[in-house]
Structure 1
């Protein structure tokens, strides 16, 4: 058996399975949806606390695929889990700058490490 990093299995689910979930954008602006990953960590924490006060049953994180996963997002994922939201998903939003084999692989690994479902179209 060879060495190297073992990827945690990632459960995939279709976007349609996330109807009714609280959608939060990370470092990507979408009209009418909350966006985190701004300049101040304290602002993100306060905004997330306000969103969690509504007690969502599920949270779907939408991230720009061509960005790298960051520790701040991992901390927010943990904060959501600690607030009692067990079901969280990650949807990597692809654009012209996305290199699927590199960018999507790193986000899939992040999803596996943080027990997030991988959400596909």
Structure 2
């Protein structure tokens, strides 16, 4: 009984350590994404950002997952920059572009290249 309790306690501690590590790793990844997006600010401001691609690579350098966002709001930024008058914010166009980008993101299959290879293996 005591042995089972110690094993369970050790397993709990190991689980907590792994989860804390994964949380820290995800935070580092999100910080990288935040820094990269901050670097894109001038392109967005000038209406020059045509598409944003994020690739997740395996340790061998193979693309495992690709996310492509093509903002539909670039044209509105370009028009506002070249206009002498104060144009209203294109909120409806922004909302539609944001919605379509989120739908595309949510609809992206979760299966990665590694998982696809594993699913074709014989069990």
Larger relative contact order (C-alpha < 8 A, sep ≥ 6)?
1
Q: Which has the higher strand share?
A: 1
If you compute each CA radius of gyration, which structure gives the higher value, 1 or 2? Answer: 2
Q: Which has the higher helix share?
A: 2
TM-score between both structures, scaled by the size of structure 1: 0.23
